[in-house]
Structure 1
Amino acid sequence: MRSAESASAELRAMEPELWPAYLSARSGLPGPRADLSLLTVAARLADGRAIEAMMSDGGEYPAMCAAAALGLRAGSAECEAGARALATDDRWRVREGVAIGLQLLGDDFPDVVRGIVRRWADDPELYVQRVAVVAICEPRLLRTAPAAAVAVDVCRRCTRHLVALPPALRTSPAARNLRQALGYCWSIAVAADPEPGLAAFRDLPTDDRDVEWIVTQNLRKKRLAALM
């Protein structure tokens, strides 16, 4: 596996149209894990031409890298719209790329990401809500009380949206995907600032079967069980 430094140098030296083949060959796919270090390098270096080339290629890993690049640049309205569109992609790795890109953006511009995830938490598309939850529930982004409060708020709002779904939609792939994310992200948000987080967590309506499942799954996480 190439180091981030060598991958960065090699990508800088080639035309953007050559990026997709380079990335696909070094992606680690097919396999259980994509190369996230290379994805981060590509996301940070990509310009408009590179993003277009990665999207046009059609391969899953180049598209994942493009999604991360757009997420990282989602401080602009155009890139946020592009990232939001990819958050509903049929390929789970592409959706994950958006979340990773938003987390990278959050490393440098936390207030920007907090605004985005708050907007996306109320998006009508459940996949977009799921990306909002996963993007903000990253421990390295939750080192302050205000940041933790945003994560709890996003989890709470997305849980409410899930509860409000008609029964026929509860079994859709997007609803299941959101439920699975909430099944571990609540514990991350609560652990970041336990007192207000626990109050919100204990206020969840456990008479709902999906919320009951979410609560049960989070209680199995050591980071939350230690606080109860």
Structure 2
Amino acid sequence: MNKIQSYIEKLHNLDDWDTYLMQESGLPGTRANLELMQAVAEVGEESQFLHWLSFTPEIATVNTPQEFLACCGTVGLGKLVKDGKTEYLKQLRLLASDPRWRIREAVAMALQIYGEQHMEVLITEVENWAKGNNYEKRAAAAALCEPKLLNQKEQVSKVLQILETITCSIMEIADRKDEGFLALKKGLAYCWSVAIVAFPDEGKQRFEKLMTYDDKDIKWIMKENLKKDRLKRMDQEWTELMKQKIK
């Protein structure tokens, strides 16, 4: 039995989830209990998710057990959307700009739960997010660039197009010190490597095109992706060649 299954069994025998979740949250700390979060998303109910989402930034500050409850509520929305309650996509889009970075990560996790069964619809949904604010763009990229979701070439091609659109939009951003921009930049620093490995032919082509752009932050994003071991494992010769070209 893995950790997630063990937590699911424990939750089935509990009456007071809130206390248990806060005790096992891992917060304050460097890493929240992601396995417990996934277990909660799997077996929790709509009323519980909405209750936990009432732990807003004013009530549940960063790196507290209460923030973990809000994360569980956020990831739980992914289950609800997967089960057909797509009205919660609007709430997830709002949460993508939450001031707490763990909530923003939970949004990506929620979208990935949706994408496991509805990848084509997820792609269509986040095409709109990719035209939104920097936090929304970051959520779109992070949600799509999950290896287990990228197993059909036609879908990966669409993901690469969205990634290119988001990356090119950087050239139009004036405030490069904005927190949303920094979050977007950090996310794109790994997303490209994940998508390229999923569809190397088109991925390499789009990546090489972006390398020609004279923008310091786009160049930084390209360099960071080239550091990822997954690219070296895919094609070490190409990766080393790109590193030399972008110096």
TM-score (normalised: structure 1): 0.89
Aligned counterpart for 2:176 among listed residues 164, 170, 173: 170
Is 1:90 matched with 2:99? yes
- Which of the numbers 196, 221, 228 marks the counterpart of 2:228? 221
Give me the whole-angstrom Cα distance separating, in 1, the residues matched to 2:225 and 2:142.
Answer: 14
Percent of aligned pairs with the same amino acid = 33
Q: Residue type of the partner of 1:63?
A: A
Q: State how far apart, in whole Å, the 2-side matches of 1:194 and 1:3 are.
A: 34
CA RMSD of superposed structures (Å): 1.9
Q: Quote the residue 1:28 is aligned against.
A: 26
Structure 2 unaligned runs (5+)?
Answer: 61-65, 239-247
Structure 1 residue 12: Cα displacement? 3.7
Return the match for 2:135 from 107, 127, 136: 127
Structure 2 CA distance for aligned equivalents of residues 68 and 221 of structure 1: 27
Question: What residue in structure 2 maps to residue 184 of structure 1?
Answer: 190
Aligned to 1:108: 117
Aligned residues: 222
Counterpart Cα distance in 1 of 2:101 and 2:223: 24
Q: Deviations over 1:45-68 (max 9, x none)?
A: 232210122122432111111111
Aligned to 2:63: none
1:37 aligns with 2:20: no
Distance 2:80 2:216 in 1: 38
Matched, 1:63 2:70: yes
Q: Deviation at 1:29?
A: 1.6
1:114-166 CA distances to partner (integer Å, 9 max, x unpaired)? 2222221112x211110110111011111121232122122111112222112
Report the Cα distance in structure 2 between the residues aligned to 1:90 and 1:194, rounded to whole angstroms: 35
Match of 1:146 in 2: 154
Tell me whether 190-199 or 143-152 shows the greater mean CA deviation: 143-152
Say if 1:130 and 1:159 are closer, same or farther in 2 by CA, change over 3 A. same
Following superposition, the deviation at residue 92 of structure 1 comes to 0.5
Instruction: Give per-residue Cα distances to partners, 1:165-198, cap 9 Å, x unaligned.
Output: 12xx111011011011111111111111111111
Deviation at 1:70, TM superposition (A): 1.4
Which structure 1 segments of 5+ residues have no match?
none
C-alpha distance in 2 between matches for 1:179 and 1:224: 19
Q: Please tell me whether the aligned partners of residues 80 and 86 of structure 2 are also in contact (alpha carbons under 8 angstroms).
A: no
For residues 74 and 220 of structure 1, the distance between their equivalents in structure 2, rounded to whole angstroms, comes to: 35
Distance 1:66 1:209 in 2: 38
Query: Is the contact made by 1:139 and 1:188 (CA closer than 8 Å) also made in structure 2?
Result: yes
Instruction: Give the conservation status (yes or no) of the 8 Å contact 1:141–1:147.
Output: no
Contact 1:184 1:217 in 2 (8 A): yes
Q: Classify 1:72/1:116 alpha carbon distance in 2 versus 1 (closer, same or farther; 3 Å).
A: farther
